[in-house]
């Protein structure tokens, strides 16, 4: 069931640094910061000392990566539950293919939707092609949000579910290892 | 996991820093000034919030594809008696960035982030071999919105 045809990969690569071409100095900064930024007055200097660059260079490179969209932002990543968002639902919708691009953009703009994607169906087990993450202080709150989405999707939507998360099994975020872009070890493709 | 007790300053800090740290020379001093607190107090509170698990992390959020890597969402239908064993096997892969238990026949949902797009298929095969279960691969075909912000 591991689908190898993935239209998003081809598109993403067009707009991106090709695989393996991440600048080695940028890559060193990614490796040094992916677990977190040092919480000190001059975090760029602290990162620089770890990677052998000046703080000015680290900051300039991070600004450039942010401008290219390689860094979405430098921010606090909250634990939903600890902030009182105990109801976290992945709402999934079976939406008419002809309408999904327009409706996906509309649904994404609805208050409370944090992430919204079109993904492939896997019929018959999985007919859903639109994913919208919803977060609330109770399931009732999430279900009210889902009602707003349901109304917006109208007749283009045949079915939907809300898959609540009942446990975080792992949450480390993206990690580059030793052998990736800019490295010549452990490349297997 | 119970909701944390946050005071008014913690709340402003969490709200403000979900939006992002400015990429300037003394970023914490800049945010502290905007919030009307001292830089040292902001750093102290931020560290405490991170240690208490209110924040999973604080740092750059990288865009996997624009780093030249691969990213996908995948799911497994795990038989209940095997759930812990399979969770351990899946979590052991460094490419598994997040993993959530969800209430559905497909009860394990995880994000794979890999160094190269081609590596996704290899990791999926390895997870199928390690768990004995078929992986549903659900890569994004279109991203309409990504902006997690949880006001407190």
The span from the CA of B141 to the CA of A128, in Å, is: 13
Question: Do residue A72 and residue B63 have CB atoms under 8 angstroms apart?
Answer: yes
Q: Which CATH architecture has domain A81-164?
A: 2-Layer Sandwich (3.30)
pLDDT of residue B66: 87
- Tens-digit pLDDT profile for residues A141-184: 999 999 999 999 999 999 999 999 988 898 877 777 643 333 33
The span from the CA of B97 to the CA of A174, in Å, is: 5
Average pLDDT over residues B55-67: 90
Measured in angstroms, the CA of B36 and the nearest CA of chain A are apart by: 16
Average pLDDT over residues A42-57: 98
Is the predicted pLDDT of residue B26 greater than 60, yes or no?
A: yes
Fold of A20-77: Arc Repressor Mutant, subunit A (1.10.10)
- Tens-digit pLDDT profile for residues B64-108: 888 888 999 999 999 999 999 999 999 999 999 999 999 999 999
> Residues 22 to 41 of A: which have CB under 8 A from any B CB?
22, 30, 33-37, 39-41
Average pLDDT over residues A58-81: 93
- Which three-class secondary structure state does DSSP give residue B104? coil
Average pLDDT over residues A4-24: 47
**Domain definitions of chain B by residue range:** 8-51, 65-138
pLDDT of residue A178: 40
What is the CATH code for B65-138?
Answer: 3.30.70.3460
Q: List every span in chain A annotated with CATH 1.10.10.2890.
A: 20-77
- Which three-class secondary structure state does DSSP give residue B102? strand
Compute how many other C-beta atoms are within 10 angstroms of the C-beta atom of residue B124.
Answer: 23
ipTM of the complex: 0.83
Out of B97, B105, B146, closest to residue A173 by CB: B97
The span from the CA of A67 to the CA of A73, in Å, is: 10
Is the predicted pLDDT of residue B152 greater than 90, yes or no?
A: no
């Amino acid at each position: 069931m591991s689908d190898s045809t993935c239209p998003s990969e081809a598109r993403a690569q067009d707009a991106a640094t090709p695989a393996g071409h991440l600048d080695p100095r940028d890559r060193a900064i990614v490796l040094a910061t992916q677990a977190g930024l040092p919480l000190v007055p001059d975090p760029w200097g602290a990162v620089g000392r770890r990677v052998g660059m000046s703080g000015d260079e680290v900051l300039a490179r991070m600004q450039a990566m942010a401008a290219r969209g390689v860094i979405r932002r430098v921010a606090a990543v909250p634990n939903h539950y600890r902030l009182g968002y105990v109801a976290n639902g992945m709402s999934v919708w079976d939406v008419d293919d002809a309408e999904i691009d327009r409706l996906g953009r509309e649904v994404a703009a609805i208050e409370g939707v944090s992430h919204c994607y079109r993904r492939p169906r896997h019929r018959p087990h999985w007919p859903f092609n639109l994913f919208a993450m919803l977060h609330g202080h109770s399931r009732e709150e999430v279900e009210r949000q889902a009602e707003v989405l349901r109304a917006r999707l109208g007749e283009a939507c045949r079915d939907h579910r809300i898959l609540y998360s009942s446990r975080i099994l792992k949450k480390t975020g993206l990690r580059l290892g030793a052998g990736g872009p800019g490295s010549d070890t452990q490349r297997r493709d | 996991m119970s909701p944390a007790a946050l005071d008014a300053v913690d709340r402003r800090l969490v709200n403000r820093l979900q939006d992002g740290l400015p990429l300037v020379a003394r970023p914490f001093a800049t945010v502290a000034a905007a919030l009307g607190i001292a830089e040292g107090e902001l750093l102290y509170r931020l560290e405490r919030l991170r240690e208490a698990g209110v924040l999973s992390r604080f740092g750059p959020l990288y865009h996997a594809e624009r780093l030249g890597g691969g990213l996908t969402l995948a799911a497994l239908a795990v038989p209940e008696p095997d759930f812990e064993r399979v969770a351990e096997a899946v979590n052991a892969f460094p490419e598994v960035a997040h993993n959530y238990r969800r209430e559905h026949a497909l009860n394990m949902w995880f994000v794979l982030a890999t160094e190269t797009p081609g590596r996704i298929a290899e990791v999926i095969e390895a997870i199928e071999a390690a768990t004995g279960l078929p992986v549903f691969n659900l890569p994004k075909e279109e991203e309409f919105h990504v902006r997690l912000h949880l006001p407190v």
